[in-house]
A and B are shown apart, each in its own frame.
Chain A
Amino acid sequence: MDPRLIEELAAAKAAQLDDARPGVVATVHQAGRLTARERVGELLDPGTEVEYGSIAALDRTTGAWVAEAGGVDYIGTVDGQTVITSSTDFTDRGGGYGAGRLERLFALAQEHRWPLVLFVDGGGSRARHPRVGLGHLELNGPFGRYQLFDGVAELSGWVPTVAVVSGPSFAGHASLAGFSDFVIATGGSSIGMGGPPMVEAALGLALSASELAGVEMHEMTGGIDLLVDDEHQAIAAARRYLSYWRDEPSGPAGPGAEAIAELVTDRAGADGPYDMVPVLEALVDQGSLFGLRPQFARSVITAFARIDGRSVGILASQPGVDDGAIDEQAATKAARFVELCDAYELPIVAVIDTPGCITRFTGDDGTPQIQPGINRWHTRAVMAHHHRTVPLFAVQVGRGGGLGPAVLGGMTGGRSTPVLWAAWPSTDIGTGDGFAAVRNQHAYDDVIAPADTRQRISRLLARLPRQLDRAAKKHPIDTW
């Protein structure tokens, strides 16, 4: 072969590396951020990276190779698990989607059931993206099996899809994040469907990205799953999230396991409502509790954890917030979590102490109102429980009023019947309330001592092997 061809290729590849653009790298670092290649490098196990489209893409207008396609795409491993990962590069004209290559990678992820980690910051379609002007029916056709968003939709519920947002992420970039099962954001970032210039053009509002769609707001309203300080923490969180896709040996019982009964205090007593988090920590392997959407709808706790090494989902009341009552947002948080656990074959441990469901609305006088009651957001969770096939262990540690136990643990008379429906001696069955006829409450498999709970669940888990080897996905995971 003509050696000049080899040299030309080597030069083209070298031009893509961070070493070739020290000025840009310095600017990125000054902002406390990582370059696209640094992000991927930190995520993937060393020596496993295989890059796709390293010198893409073709500028369709001129036919010339352009310097950068706005991002990097890789296959590699994370803690030994094969993953697909891609990062936009916001320093390159705002960061492309990696369109063309992502579609290719989505097909590989679908075929081989490889998890997906996307770093998506950028402003959507570039102003002069070659696709603009084609009326959104893509004339080039898909490369691989998918276009862009249908690929993430197809992967949802089949493999874990993780999005990391560090910086402003708007329009198509935000959409990719919004489709993902698990969205991690760094402080000061923003995620929105329309960026500041579009909002100024459309609504006449001049706002910064953070004022418009800051992730600190999303942390409270459920738009993201986890807020962290910086990209190192974000990558560590992505790594940790993926670790629950596997079962692996993990630490002994958490602190307080022996004295777990003392953590559940009498609400009417001097201590007031207790915090459920220490109870959960005492129930699971030490250091394994990983909260999802921790600041959103806080009266329900959703978390991943391990019990004797088995990955489980934790769905629990938080009596410390709203007395543990389940509002619309808490109900939808529970419903989505049930779908997530079901898709990933994570058995669910429901820890229940709730007075029931509440509904929030704006009163006639314009003030926020709360009253007991349910609507379709609540029944969503009942529906999700009925259709799950993963085992569920329900532990009632206190009250179980109204539809509350069904939102957290499902019903007890059909497909969603828990493997174990246990009660602690502190269970308050109360009097038959307005749901008594349909909820079949008081039907416990056993009343158990709090300190026996962990072992009881662990032994049953040993009888229920994880079924990750199924041939087709069960269902997507609702983005809300």
Chain B
Amino acid sequence: MDAELLTQITDARDRALAATAARNRIERLVDPGSFVEYGVLAGESSDPDDDAPADALVAGVGRVHGHPVTVASYDTTVRHGTQTDRNMRKLVRLLYLASRHRWPFVVFVDGDGARPGHPWVVPPIVVYNRGRFDVYEGLAELSGWAPTIAVISGRTLDGNAGLALLCDFVVATAGSTVGSRGSDGTIYTRPVEALAADGSVDLIVDDEAHAIDTVADYLAYWGDGFGTDEPSPTHGLIADIIPVDRRHPYDVRRVIEALADAGTVLELGERWAPSMVTALATLGGRPIGMMANQPLSPVAGAIDSPAADKAARFVELCDAYELPIVSLVDNPGYMVGPDAERGGIARHHARPLAALHHRTVPLCSVQLRKAYGLGPFAMSGWGASRLMPELRLAWPSVESGGMSLEGAAFLVKRKEIRAAGSPEEARAIRDSYAKEMRDPASGVSAGRTFSFDDVILPGETRERIIALLEAIPRVFPAAKKHPIDPR
């Protein structure tokens, strides 16, 4: 072949390799030597001397933990990581492959949105997708079919931000920003920490290296886990996490940590809806999702609208990824009061119930302590005919009831409590009646009345769930069940 042709290619490729910021990220994520790049020569123009390496987007197929993934990264050193018709078409190629082969899609999204002044071809009836989907459609199609993962590391505007906000899982580095260019050209941004507090970003990490490690970890739950089924070093002390005083709070993350395999817990959404903790983990080596009420939260584990939203989305995520759900229950019910009502709890409360109702993955609930009112329904699917939890366990500290014992006592003995001579006397009246009101679905009698499948010692929980999950293998259905609602 004409040597000059070969030289042109190698020269052009050398120039494209200058998009090092993007390449370094991808190299760090994927298994060594596994990356096959798409469109390495695609530049901003067709000029042989084009000076926009890879048109600001490096894209291809690689492997992580041996499993195929599609991965792309904008490169902000090239045209500020802006989007063009050409680099969007690279993403479309990946989304096509991901959709066809059920491969995860990972994208590093930082960049400034559409490239200013880029000559758009805009005759009528031209659609810029050259594949089956355009990019946003592709992400929507992939949602619930294979993981879609975005890394926000740096400033991310407009169309770049939209990519992230359509992904199932968004990890961001501290100090990054997300925003939009106003019609007058002013750039408006918000810190990713603010988006994380609103549920639009799932996790904040210190730096890009941590973000990449987190993506690799996240992909392990989609895959085969971490190759370990070692119990947590804290497992032996699990019963001690529940305080002796039944009204004393504790951190439910400690229960999650103690139940899961050692070092396998990845919490999602830790910065929003603090009364609901959601985490991925493995149990006996099997990837699972865990959702838990957080007694340590300001609302003592009550389920408010953000908590309901968070639980609903998590159930959809687990259902789509075929991750069994372990639900740890300790809540006083749904949040009540004027602020909760203004926040729409009467509508939001139904979201986790509906998500649980429509799931097909197995669900094990463990009632650690209390659940009043509709609280147990929200966490375990209620005792419905065909959608019961596969296993419904309780610890001996279990308490049930239409509302808290103290609250019920107040309602019934209101007059006497108000007429009491001292606060101590009032409390005594309340506590005495509360004791009388104790629901039979509490403590050991919860097992006697078969209100639960079993009341067990905390230390037995792990083995029970593992044994049941072994009976229910992970099966990926041939078609997508449903998308994962972004919010």
- Which residues of A pack against B, CB within 8 Å? 124-125, 127, 129, 132-139, 141-142, 145-150, 153-154, 156, 171-172, 174-175, 177-179, 191-194, 197-203, 205, 207, 211-213, 217-218, 221-223, 332, 355-357, 359, 361, 371-380, 382-383, 386-387, 401-403, 406, 411-417, 430, 432-440, 442-447, 475-476, 478-480
Which of B10-18, B31-39, B58-66, B83-91 lies at the binding interface?
A: B83-91
Do A386 and B346 have beta carbons less than 8 Å apart?
no
Specify the chain A residue showing the minimal Cβ separation from B407: A201
Do A414 and B400 have beta carbons less than 8 Å apart?
no
B43 → chain A closest CB, angstroms:
16
Do B337 and A135 have beta carbons less than 8 Å apart?
no
Do B134 and A193 have beta carbons less than 8 Å apart?
no
Which of B210-218, B245-253, B445-453 lies at the binding interface?
A: B445-453
26 A-B pairs with CB atoms under 8 Å apart are A135-B400, A136-B382, A137-B450, A137-B451, A149-B377, A193-B335, A193-B349, A199-B337, A212-B337, A212-B338, A222-B347, A355-B183, A361-B194, A374-B162, A382-B136, A383-B483, A402-B158, A403-B162, A430-B183, A434-B159, A435-B162, A436-B159, A438-B135, A440-B134, A443-B125, A447-B124
Do A432 and B120 have beta carbons less than 8 Å apart?
yes
Do B385 and A198 have beta carbons less than 8 Å apart?
no
Tell me which of B88, B200, B349, B354 has the highest count of chain A C-beta atoms within 10 A of its own C-beta. B354
Contacts of B350 in A (CB 8 A): 149, 153, 175, 178-179, 479
Tell which of B161, B183, B195, B486 touches A433, judged by Cβ atoms closer than 8 Å. Answer: B183
Q: How far is the CA of A193 from the CA of B335 in the complex (A)?
A: 8
Could you list 5 further interchain pairs (A-B, Cβ under 8 angstroms) beyond the known A203-B336, A386-B141, A432-B120?
A179-B353, A201-B406, A372-B180, A375-B487, A438-B114
The interface on chain B, measured as residues whose beta carbon lies within 8 A of the other chain's beta carbons, has a size of: 113
Q: Does B154 contact A (CB under 8 A)?
A: no
Do A135 and B122 have beta carbons less than 8 Å apart?
no
Do B337 and A436 have beta carbons less than 8 Å apart?
no
Do B166 and A379 have beta carbons less than 8 Å apart?
yes
A309 → chain B closest CB, angstroms:
30
Do B120 and A436 have beta carbons less than 8 Å apart?
yes
A67 → chain B closest CB, angstroms:
23
Interface residues of B in 356-403 (CB under 8 A from A): 357-358, 371, 373-374, 376-377, 381-387, 392, 400-403
As a 0/1 sequence over residues 450 to 487 of chain B, the CB contacts with chain A under 8 angstroms (1 = contact) are: 11100000000000000000000000000000110111
Known interface pairs A134-B440, A438-B159, A442-B122; A212-B83 also in contact (CB < 8 Å):
no
B305 → chain A closest CB, angstroms:
8
Contacts of B101 in A (CB 8 A): none
Do A136 and B383 have beta carbons less than 8 Å apart?
yes
Q: How far is the CA of A264 from the CA of B334 in the complex (A)?
A: 46
Do A411 and B341 have beta carbons less than 8 Å apart?
no
Q: How far is the CA of A135 from the CA of B165 in the complex (A)?
A: 40
Do A134 and B138 have beta carbons less than 8 Å apart?
no
Contacts of A403 in B (CB 8 A): 162
Known interface pairs A137-B383, A361-B190; A203-B337 also in contact (CB < 8 Å):
yes
A296 → chain B closest CB, angstroms:
10
Known interface pairs A136-B376, A376-B165; A194-B336 also in contact (CB < 8 Å):
yes
Do A376 and B199 have beta carbons less than 8 Å apart?
yes
Known interface pairs A432-B118, A437-B83; A376-B487 also in contact (CB < 8 Å):
yes
Known interface pairs A434-B113, A478-B351; A379-B384 also in contact (CB < 8 Å):
no
Do A150 and B137 have beta carbons less than 8 Å apart?
no
Tell which of A124, A212, A373, A480 touches B351, judged by Cβ atoms closer than 8 Å. Answer: A480
Q: Does B277 contact A (CB under 8 A)?
A: no
Do A198 and B158 have beta carbons less than 8 Å apart?
no
Tell which of A129, A149, A218, A413 touches B137, judged by Cβ atoms closer than 8 Å. Answer: A413
Q: Does B115 contact A (CB under 8 A)?
A: yes
Q: How far is the CA of A296 from the CA of B410 in the complex (A)?
A: 37
Do A154 and B357 have beta carbons less than 8 Å apart?
yes
Interface residues of B in 93-123 (CB under 8 A from A): 112-115, 118, 120, 122
Contacts of B485 in A (CB 8 A): 380, 383, 478
Known interface pairs A376-B165, A476-B358, A478-B351; A438-B134 also in contact (CB < 8 Å):
yes
B76 → chain A closest CB, angstroms:
15
Do B348 and A479 have beta carbons less than 8 Å apart?
yes
Q: How far is the CA of A357 from the CA of B342 in the complex (A)?
A: 23
A143 → chain B closest CB, angstroms:
10
Q: Does B345 contact A (CB under 8 A)?
A: yes
Contacts of A417 in B (CB 8 A): 127
Q: How far is the CA of A141 from the CA of B140 in the complex (A)?
A: 39
Do B128 and A413 have beta carbons less than 8 Å apart?
yes
A238 → chain B closest CB, angstroms:
18
Q: Does B77 contact A (CB under 8 A)?
A: no
Contacts of A416 in B (CB 8 A): 137, 140
As a 0/1 sequence over residues 302 to 326 of chain B, the CB contacts with chain A under 8 angstroms (1 = contact) are: 0000000100000000000000000
Q: How far is the CA of A433 from the CA of B125 in the complex (A)?
A: 19
Do B134 and A414 have beta carbons less than 8 Å apart?
yes
Known interface pairs A221-B344, A435-B114; A202-B385 also in contact (CB < 8 Å):
no
Interface residues of B in 131-172 (CB under 8 A from A): 132-138, 140-141, 143, 157-159, 161-163, 165-166
Known interface pairs A437-B85, A438-B136, A444-B124; A136-B162 also in contact (CB < 8 Å):
no
Do A414 and B376 have beta carbons less than 8 Å apart?
no
Tell which of A127, A135, A222, A383 touches B166, judged by Cβ atoms closer than 8 Å. Answer: A383
